[in-house]
Structure 1
Amino acid sequence: MTPKRIAPCDVVVTSVSPPRGPARGSCDVARTRVAGLTPGHRIAETPVPKGAFVTNTSTGPSPEPVHSSSDPFGFFGLTYDDVLLLPNATDVIPADADPGTRLTRNIRLNIPIVSAAMDTVTEAPLAIAMARQGGMGIIHRNLSIEDQVRHVDTVKRSESGMIKDPVTIGPDATLADLDELCAQYRVSGLPVVAEDMTLLGIITNRDTRFIPREEWATRTVDTAMTRMPLITAQEGVSRAETIRLFSQNRVEKLPLVDDAGRLTGLITIKDFDKAEQYPDAAKDDEGRLRVGGAVGFFGDGWERAMALVEAGVDALVVDTANGHTHGVLDMIARLKKDKAAAHVDVIGGQAATYAGAKAIVDAGADAVKVGVGPGSICTTRVVAGVGVPQITAIYEAAKATRPAGVPLIADGGLQHSGDIGKALVAGADSVMLGSLLAGTAESPGDLVFYQGKQFKTYRGMGSLGAMQTRNGTRSFSKDRYFQADVPDEDKLIPEGIEGQVPFRGPVASVVHQLVGGLRQTMFYTGASTVADLKENGRFVRITAAGLKESHPHDIMMTVEAPNYRSR
């Protein structure tokens, strides 16, 4: 028999004999992928020097589906707990490791983490916090179009090098109107303009501080604003000149006007402060924080997508439970051909196989999202009996994405910071997190107390709570699981659960631990960049005993570490 190299178990097959009993050992099962063998065949092999039972996924086998019709059980699946990364010679200092990566063809992030498009995970507050840390948030679509657009707009307006279309107010508006706008956009004041956008003045909380609130409903803006002339500049003013104007005139907002005195933009001192406070923030070409938005392909999917594009979204995520369908693929192709959306990258999902990822790539997607059923709140694999363990799903999908130069997002199933490095070595370029971020202060889940401890509510988008209309709130999540045509909500088939996760504090602290863990991964494996890690990282499979040994054992833990919780 001619020797043959197989993966993900680097051994050379030299002979095969019939079964003589049950297979033993984790690698015995994996070897059944060769030539349609079934568990129980004995395999004689020649170990690969210095690397037996190790896989290098950067090269991997030829991009062929490993499942064979002649061997329906030959596809062996691995997940995060089934593998570890091998240490390597290193001179990398963790603090110097660069965790930057590509999210899509055209979007680069400073950390390989995005937050999931879930209604208990990502709305504007968490998306802002994620972008400031160098990642990105995907605003969920279990909202009306107007509300989802508002969240995207809030992220985009939260900070900017220059606000090109600042929120303004007219002189005849009331102070109550002003207060409502300032609360909505989280600003302390607004420029006051005429109908033709001529700048009339500016009004801030300094102007209204000593006006009794009971007068706000009737008092108009023009009675309290600071009138022209104001300190202004023209569009294109340099950073140095802007700082000089702020410092010399002790102002915090600098309106930009044209030669006719019409407002064309606004610069605030807070944006300069935030740029220094968050140097790694993920920003677009205009200096605004990056944000994504989830859309479907059914019903209002196209209208929602166009509204998000108009709002300035950086990426659209065609977000369904199975992306290997005509509806999803057609939506991706249509978005990529539409001139209005040409500047917005499109992410397609979900995929869990080579064929699924290849179809999404061929449709024109700028990134592929991988994961069917790995999430902590997902029941797809037990309700439908469908899915692929996540490491194998990433590995198989990467055979389609890597040759095409399309980034891969590993979505779901991550429990610890070490899983991020495993996902990257398996073929991902970034990871999408749900449960690890659901317990943060910025997530929209409710804060609850249980047995003296703080928790936040967390649910799957396939749960009944997410798919049903409750308390007068309409659900927009049913079509994600292809159940939009179910007229009776009592007849829905849920693919997720509702629960709660421990409160974990601010996003910044959680992301610090996650990225710190990734930097440690890069140190141990000798990788100074994510590209190095993907190229040179190698796996070793472990047994159940190896997994037990990997976690703290034979001790009663009295103080939990910030990056580890007892199982």
Structure 2
Amino acid sequence: MDRYPGAVSQEIEIGRGKRGRRAYTLDDIAIVPARRTRDPRDVDLSWQIDAYRFDLPFIAAPMDSVMSPRTAIELGRLGGLGVLDLEGLWTRYEDPQPLLDEIAGLDAASATVRMQEIYAAPIQPELITARLGEIREAGVTVAGALTPARTQEHWRTVVEAGCDLFVIRGNTVSAEHVSSAEEPLNLKQFIYELDVPVIVGGVASYTPALHLMRAGAAGVLVGFGGGASSTTRRALGINVPMATALADIHAARRDYMDESGGRYVHVIADGGLGDSGSIVKAFAMGADAVMLGAALARADEAPGRGSHWGAEAHHLQLPRGRKVELGSVGPLEQLLFGPGHTALGEVNIAGALRRSMSTAGYLELKEFQRVDVVVTPQTAPEI
């Protein structure tokens, strides 16, 4: 793990030849209420990045099971931000819905191979223009995502289509990618020359995040995203628990503000936020916004029809995600605002965040980042 000035050592001895820091998941922490409570109706959940203000701090993950142009428009109208995957089926096929329906009906054993076949179709630049244009015509903020590998090829098409926010998203993104085979994307130069704000990630520790901030990112995605953290750990041995990752990158943002004379870079939690409790705790650990995949894949309007998958699930050489069945629990508006009918943390996620903040005595998200937390490792299932 990266070390940074002023850090308190938490290293433990794993064996005589290796030491490591203890790290915590969001399940390992809990929020501590303060002496004062607030009326939930007074809580402000608004969030702003660059010139774009949103009533909700919820960003839909650029995943085909979550976002179509139509669902991006609907989320935008409800106060959030939808991000379209510009390497997904919506930019490979004129009418991808039959293929989305086919994927949703696949069993787990055959899903990976069939998805690899479906996603082998080439990306069509004219479809990038058409899909982003459809969102723009609806009058909501337009956001699209590419991986670092595809950014050089398609960024100009994305910008010319009228994208307001550009997202560069991968499992792990660095500002200093080195390759002996090809010229890598120079993030600092790219962001400097681009006319739109860039959100980039994922990162999971202090130093890589600080480098992305120095490269000019408007926002940094924290985590591995894509619903693939468990399989990324199994396939690659890579994992940093979200609570520790957010706390480290919250510190990087603080130090970068001092270094840059006050430039504020937004910290966005991405991955492993499938229930309202995890979402709430992400803000408590320092997030300004959250990127949601599974939490929104359960909406009736989601293109995956209750099935959920990310780009990692159909990677041609090394799949490290999987298609999962979540089921549909209600319309998107109900998922965000309720009413809820179960205590599973799947419905009324805005209401849960508002209630938690008011219970702890906070009215604004940036204030809520200062809330006290305790470490409570979950060693047994709750009753």
TM-score where L is the length of structure 1: 0.53
Change (3 A) 1:544 1:320: closer
Q: Alpha-carbon deviation of 1:135?
A: 0.9
Q: Do 1:91 and 1:523's aligned partners in 2 also have CA atoms closer than 8 Å?
A: yes
Partner in structure 2 of residue 95 of structure 1: 41
What is the aligned partner in structure 2 of residue 425 from structure 1? 284
The AA in structure 2 aligned to 1:313 is C
Query: What is the DSSP-based 3-state SS (H/G/I as helix, E as strand, rest coil) of the residue aligned with 2:82?
Result: strand
**Which residue matches 1:83?**
29
Residue 333 of structure 1: aligned partner: 188
Provide the residue aligned with 2:107 in structure 1. none
> 2:57 maps to what in 1?
112
Aligned to 1:382: 234
Partner residue, 1:530: 365
In the alignment, is residue 38 of structure 1 matched against residue 18 of structure 2?
Answer: no
Other structure's SS at 1:528 match: coil
Q: Which residue of 2 aligns with 1:515?
A: 350
Distance of 1:71 and 1:519 partners within structure 2: 47
- Among 303, 307, 332, the alignment partner of 1:457 is 307
Whether contact under 8 Å (2:294, 2:308) holds in the other structure is yes
What is the aligned counterpart of 2:157 among 307, 314, 318?
307
Distance in 2, matches of 1:435 and 1:528, equals 27
Q: CA deviation at 1:439?
A: 2.1
* Structure 1 unaligned regions, length at least 5: 1-5, 9-32, 41-69, 159-287, 448-455, 468-488, 554-567
Q: How does 1:12-31 map to 2 (within 5 A)?
A: none
Q: Deviations over 1:193-233 (max 9, x none)?
A: xxxxxxxxxxxxxxxxxxxxxxxxxxxxxxxxxxxxxxxxx
TM-superposed deviation, 1:7: 7.8
How far apart in 1 are the matches of 2:363 and 2:323? Answer: 40
In the alignment, does 2:134 pair up with 1:154? yes
**Match of 2:143, as an amino acid?**
G
Equivalent residues in 2 for 1:434-453 (5 A)?
434-445=293-304, 447=305
Do the aligned residues in 2 keep the contact of 1:139 with 1:293 (CA within 8 Å)?
yes
Please tell me whether residue 542 in structure 1 is matched to residue 376 in structure 2. Answer: yes
Partner residue of 2:106?
Answer: none
Contact conserved, 1:80 with 1:414, CA < 8 A, in 2? Answer: no
Bigger Cα Rg: 1
Equivalent in the alignment of 1:401 = 253
Higher helix share: 2
Shift of 1:320: 1.7
| Whole-angstrom distance in 2 between the partners of 1:124 and 1:416 | 24
How far off its partner does 1:71 sit?
8.1
Determine whether 1:359 maps to 2:211.
yes
Instruction: Quote the Cα distance in structure 2 between the aligned partners of 1:351 and 1:337.
Output: 20
- Matched position secondary structure for 2:174: coil
377 and 441 in structure 1: CA distance in 2 versus 1, 3 angstrom threshold: farther
Partner Cα separation in structure 1 for residue 225 and residue 61 of structure 2: 14
**Cα distance change of structure 1 residues 91 and 297 upon mapping to structure 2, 3 Å threshold:** closer
Provide closer, same or farther for how the CA distance between residues 318 and 71 of structure 1 changes in structure 2, counting only shifts above 3 A.
farther
**Structure 1 position 371, deviation (Å):** 0.3
Amino acid at match of 2:360: T
Aligned to 1:118, the other structure's residue is in SS state coil
Q: CA deviation at 1:96?
A: 1.4
Judging changes above 3 Å, is the alpha-carbon distance between structure 1 residues 518 and 294 closer, same or farther for their aligned structure 2 residues? same
Gaps of 5+ in 2: 1-5, 92-122, 179-183, 258-263, 338-347
CA–CA distance in 2 between the matches of 1:379 and 1:457?
A: 17
Cα offset for 1:335? 3.0
Matched residue SS, 2:369 = helix
Show the counterpart of 2:344: none
2:144 to 276, 280, 293: 293
Aligned-residue offset at 1:374: 8.1
> What's the CA shift for 1:327?
4.5
Q: State the AA in 1 paired with 2:301.
A: E
1:126 aligns with 2:71: yes
How far apart are the structure 2 equivalents of 1:425 and 1:548?
Answer: 23
1:519 Cα deviation from its structure 2 partner: 0.4
Supply the AA of the counterpart residue of 1:501: L
Residues 90 and 354 (structure 1), Cα distance of their counterparts in 2 relative to 1, 3 Å cut? same
* Cα deviation code 1:333-384 (max 9, x no counterpart): 233232xx32x11011110010110111111111100102683675111100
Taking structure 2 as the reference length, the TM-score comes to 0.77
Structure number with greater CO (CA < 8 Å, separation at least 6) is 2
Q: Is the 8 A contact 1:374 1:389 kept in 2?
A: no
* In structure 2, distance between residues paired with 1:324 and 1:295: 15
* Corresponding residue number in structure 2 for 1:136: 81
User: How far did residue 88 of structure 1 move?
Assistant: 1.2
Paired amino acid for 1:539: V
| Mapped partners of 1:7, 1:542: distance in 2 | 22
Task: Describe the SS at the equivalent of 1:463.
Answer: helix
1:369 to 221, 241, 246: 221
Distance 1:345 1:72, change over 3 A: farther
Instruction: Check whether the contact 1:118–1:140 (CA below 8 A) recurs between aligned residues.
Output: yes
| Kept in 2: contact 1:297–1:327 (CA 8 A) | no
**Residue aligned with 2:220, SS:** strand
Q: Distance in 2 between matches of 1:388 and 1:377?
A: 9
Q: Identify the residue that residue 273 of structure 1 maps to in structure 2.
A: none
Q: Distance in 2 between matches of 1:332 and 1:325?
A: 6
**Alignment deviations for residues 429-454 of structure 1 (CA, whole Å, 9 cap, x no partner):** 00001011112122221x3xxxxxxx
In the alignment of these two chains, the number of paired residues is: 321
Superposed CA deviations along residues 219-269 of structure 1, whole A, max 9, x for unmatched, are xxxxxxxxxxxxxxxxxxxxxxxxxxxxxxxxxxxxxxxxxxxxxxxxxxx
1:503 equivalent in structure 2: 328
Residues 482-532 of structure 1 show CA distances to partners (whole Å, capped at 9, x for unaligned) of xxxxxxx4xx11110112211122211111101000001111110011122
Equivalent pair of 2:142/2:163 in contact (CA under 8 Å): yes
- Structure 1 CA distance for aligned equivalents of residues 17 and 240 of structure 2: 17
